Structure 1
Amino acid sequence: MLLIKRMLVYILLFSIFACLSETHSTNNHDASNDCSFLEHVNSDVSLTLQKTGFHRELMTTVQFNNGFLGKLLLFYSWPKDIYVDPYQLVSLGEQRNWEMLLDSTIDLEMPAHKSSGFRTYLYPHLEELTAEQINLTMPIHGRYQKPSFNGNAFETVIIHPPDLLLRPVKNCIHSHKMESYTIVDAPCTANNSSTCQWIKVHYQKLTGPVTLQFPVGDASLIIPVSGGTLLVTVICCVVLSISAWRRQIM
């Protein structure tokens, strides 16, 4: 009888220690995967335009004040007046410190009024973010504008800053602390082989968009330009015909 009591006591003590150990392990797991680092994130993304004309360079500057282990993604929404050249991106090769994924096929010859906006996912080549800023420069190009009857000489195009998305090494997406954050589904890598859940970071200070202007043709000049072109063509044909006829006689 005494032996049975001792066995029951041992079993009870073992169960208590097992429960305490499991609770401690769970608490440690939650503490490491609760995305608490987001409370101290101070991020800023700004845009700067370089060069002039239809062929520009857009530099995106990312400032991040908190050490972070994981992946970073910049999500751009482009207006219909802008396009990126996929062949040019491939030719850049190792000159760029990022990879880009496009959500649709880009027609390089389509004018602005017949094209539509598109989106891109930009993946910087880095594993850890520090207080140092990250500069990412990409070539962009302007589409030709439809001639205007209103006398507008330029078309103003607005490019908004991209969304900053994070994917930590340790999964904390399902933590109860994520209720105040936005979860976004996006490709895991530039290969577009699978989709992952990313955390959209709220900027500490809102940076404005950048604007650029592209020249617009004057539609009111269509008739005189077309008439002048036709007149010059006729005159050249007549002159060439007379010259050929004279040479044939001689």
Structure 2
Amino acid sequence: MAGGLRWRGEALLSAGLAAFLCAFRVQAVCEGATVTQELLKEGFHRDLLLKVELGVVREHSGECTVAARTHLPPGIYVDPYELASLQQHNLTKAVLIPDVDVEAPEYLATDLLVLLYLEPDPWCFHCFTATLPVHGRYHRPAEDSEEVLVMLKSPEVLVCCCDSRLPAECWKAAEVEAPCSGKNAGPCQWYSITHKSAHEESILQVPVGLRQHISMVCAVTLLATVLCSSLILAAMCKYGQFSEVICSE
């Protein structure tokens, strides 16, 4: 009887030790990522700097592609024409979902989803970085503040390793219809990894007008429009080819 109890105790102890070592191994291998995002410059036109430091060891990372899936609120947008120019010169690579109306004000705009590909950082082991130009939208005039705060949440970190096998316990499949890299013509399987953020949110300060200045702004705009139109008409009457017809009327 005593021998059986002792055998059971040793078996439970061995199982517990094995479970602890397995959990320790998974935690060591599956150490998450650290995400840092920073808004550079001032005013309406900013640069969003993203930096991701992977916690996995090199033998599991392989030839992987790292991307950040960022949800931009209505107060921020990415200019698709500017992005196309940057991608043409290999300065950045991103996918916009959906199409962007660059003329819409904040109160008529919708959220924007951006998949931003990150490049390896030569100065940091297991770090990936990318910069995305973002722009603040025009807001409604405020009552007593000359700035509006737009909150930008931490992105989701995605990893795609089409040519290597990842430890299944570390990754969660993500629904992303985008190629792993420029080498792949079609979409492949992306995986989401847990991460911690240096800051949960980044704050964009967008300048706005004040409601009590509306009358003054309208009056100055109307005066400037009338003055410029008069100067243009006078120049046309004096130097234009049809000056006689226009001025006689």
Which bracket does the TM-score occupy, shorter chain normalised?
Answer: 0.5 to 0.7
Distance 2:95 2:226 in 1: 50
Distance 1:101 1:77 in 2: 12
If the length of structure 2 is used for normalisation, what is the TM-score? 0.66
* Structure 1 residues 95 and 234, CA gap change in structure 2 (3 angstroms): closer
Query: Residue 18 of structure 2 corresponds to which residue in structure 1?
Result: none
Query: Residue 60 of structure 1 corresponds to which residue in structure 2?
Result: 50
Distance 1:81 1:117 in 2: 8
Encode CA deviations 1:155-186: one digit per residue, 9 max, x unaligned: 0011112111122334569x5x46xx532110
Residue 90 of structure 1 aligns to a residue in which SS? helix
Aligned length: 200
Computing the radius of gyration over CA atoms, which structure comes out larger, 1 or 2?
1
Q: Which amino acid aligns with 1:220?
A: Q
If the length of structure 1 is used for normalisation, what is the TM-score? 0.66
Aligned-residue offset at 1:193: 6.4
Query: Residue 34 of structure 2 corresponds to which residue in structure 1?
Result: 44
State yes or no: 1:211 paired with 2:194: no
Note the residue ranges of structure 1 that are not aligned, 5 or more in a row: 1-35, 239-243
Query: Residue 139 of structure 2 corresponds to which residue in structure 1?
Result: 145
State yes or no: 1:120 paired with 2:114: yes
State yes or no: 1:166 paired with 2:163: no
Distance 2:65 2:111 in 1: 26
Aligned-residue offset at 1:95: 4.9
Instruction: State the identity %.
Output: 27
Encode CA deviations 1:59-102: one digit per residue, 9 max, x unaligned: 10111242102222210100111111121122223352x41111
Indicate if the aligned counterparts of 2:119 and 2:128 stay in contact, CA closer than 8 A.
no
User: What are the residue-to-residue correspondences of 1:1-250 with 2, within 5 Å?
Assistant: 39-65=29-55, 66-67=57-58, 68-69=61-62, 70-92=64-86, 93-96=88-91, 98-125=92-119, 131-148=125-142, 150-168=143-161, 169-170=163-164, 175=168, 177=169, 182-189=172-179, 194-204=186-196, 207-227=199-219, 230=222
Aligned-residue offset at 1:154: 0.8
Aligned-residue offset at 1:152: 2.4
Indicate if the aligned counterparts of 1:72 and 1:167 stay in contact, CA closer than 8 A.
yes
Aligned-residue offset at 1:117: 1.0
Indicate if the aligned counterparts of 2:106 and 2:139 stay in contact, CA closer than 8 A.
yes
* Structure 1 residues 167 and 107, CA gap change in structure 2 (3 angstroms): same
The Cα RMSD (Å) is 3.5
Q: Which amino acid aligns with 2:111?
A: G
Aligned-residue offset at 1:227: 4.3
Note the residue ranges of structure 2 that are not aligned, 5 or more in a row: 1-25, 231-236, 238-246
> More deviation in 62-71 or 52-61?
62-71
